[in-house]
């Protein structure tokens, strides 16, 4: 796998080269020191994977990656940055991982392996109609939750609680923000609930509202009256 490093900090580039040089399956084919340089190197080297800092001169890493993806659609990107506020935007460009400095070696290696595996997939499989993971921030670290495992999400006070097959995960995130980045499997059934249609088993009346019941889950979600017809129509398609 051909790897390109883009970071305006010489020490960061040196550390990344040191961590990667021991890996037999990865070859560093170039270094970029700003966003424009990154685009030029991608055009010339056609790397499989790019390790990209965001806060770079001339053109920041996020904007540069958007251009790079047009040049090499199969390019897999791992952001490595000192800033955490671009995580959701990174997810929108299908980044493999978003690592906040200082660099964790095991996290980097795991990201490279995921990028390599995804790079080997046929082009049609690399851009699926549904996303595979939800990137979330917990305790200053970013992790990925497989969307296939999310049953529903509810608002609890000022937090969002993600109900998965195995666990509940609390986030300091608004439901509206999550709804924007989830794929077509997820629908807001109520102002306080987002449900995964793949798990929806039935909807029953419960007083003035309705309850959604799910496969493999004892807990229920609320369904508002104005969302009932929409859900029934979607499930009948």
Q: Answer for the pair 191, 209: CB distance below 8 angstroms, yes or no.
A: no
Q: Which long-range contacts (CB under 8 A, 24 or more apart) does 114-117 make?
A: 115/1, 115/48, 115/49, 115/76, 115/77, 115/78, 116/1, 116/25, 116/26, 116/48, 116/49, 116/76
Whole-model pTM above 0.75?
A: no
Q: Answer for the pair 189, 177: CB distance below 8 angstroms, yes or no.
A: no
pLDDT surpasses 90 at 171: no
Which residue from 108, 19, 114 is spatially nearest to 76, judged by alpha carbons? Answer: 114
Q: Answer for the pair 121, 73: CB distance below 8 angstroms, yes or no.
A: no
Model confidence at 132, in pLDDT bands (50, 70, 90)?
low
Model confidence at 140, in pLDDT bands (50, 70, 90)?
low
What CATH code would you report for 146-236? 2.40.50.1020
Number of CB atoms found within 10 A of residue 45's CB: 16
Q: How many CA atoms within 13 Å lie on the side-chain side of 189?
A: 30
Rounded average pLDDT over 225-237? 67
Task: Please state whether the peptide bond connecting residue 102 to the residue before it is cis, i.e. omega within 30 degrees of 0.
Answer: yes
Which strands form 209-214's sheet, in the order they lie side by side? 200-206, 209-214, 217-223
Which of the residue ranges 42-46, 130-134, 183-187 would you say has the lowest mean pLDDT?
A: 130-134
Q: Answer for the pair 220, 212: CB distance below 8 angstroms, yes or no.
A: yes
Rounded average pLDDT over 15-26? 91
pLDDT in tens, 174-217: 888 888 778 878 888 998 999 998 898 888 888 778 899 998 88
Query: How do the domains of the chain map onto residue ranges?
Result: 2-126, 146-236
pLDDT in tens, 82-100: 877 777 677 667 788 888 8
Token pair for residue 106? 């095991």
> CATH: 3.30.360.10, 3.20.20.70, 3.40.50.2300, 3.40.50.620. Which one for 2-126?
3.40.50.2300
pLDDT of residue 66: 87
pLDDT of residue 118: 79
Which residue from 120, 60, 127 is spatially nearest to 93, judged by alpha carbons? Answer: 127
pLDDT surpasses 70 at 127: no
- Phi-psi label, residue 197: left if phi above 0, alpha if psi -120 to 50, beta otherwise: alpha
């Amino acid at each position: 796998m051909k790897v390109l490093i883009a970071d305006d900090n010489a020490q960061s580039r040196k550390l990344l080269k040191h961590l990667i040089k021991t890996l037999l399956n990865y070859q560093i084919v170039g270094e970029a020191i700003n966003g424009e340089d990154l685009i030029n190197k991608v055009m010339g080297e056609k790397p499989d994977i790019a390790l990209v800092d965001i806060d770079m001169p001339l053109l920041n890493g996020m904007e540069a990656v958007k251009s790079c993806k047009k040049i090499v659609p199969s390019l897999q990107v791992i952001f490595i940055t000192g800033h955490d506020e671009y995580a959701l935007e990174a997810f929108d460009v299908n980044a493999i991982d978003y690592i906040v400095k200082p660099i964790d070696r095991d996290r980097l290696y795991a990201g490279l392996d995921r990028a390599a595996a995804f790079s080997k997939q046929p082009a049609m499989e690399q851009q699926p109609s549904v996303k595979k993971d939800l990137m979330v921030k917990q305790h200053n670290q970013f992790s990925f939750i497989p969307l296939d495992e999310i049953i529903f999400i509810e608002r609890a006070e000022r937090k969002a609680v993600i109900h998965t097959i195995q666990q509940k995960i609390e986030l300091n995130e608004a439901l509206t923000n999550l709804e924007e980045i989830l794929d077509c499997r997820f629908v807001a059934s109520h102002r306080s609930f987002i449900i995964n249609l793949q798990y929806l088993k039935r909807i029953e009346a419960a007083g003035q509202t309705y309850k959604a019941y799910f496969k493999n889950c004892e807990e229920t979600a609320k369904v508002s009256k104005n969302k009932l017809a929409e859900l029934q129509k979607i499930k009948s398609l």
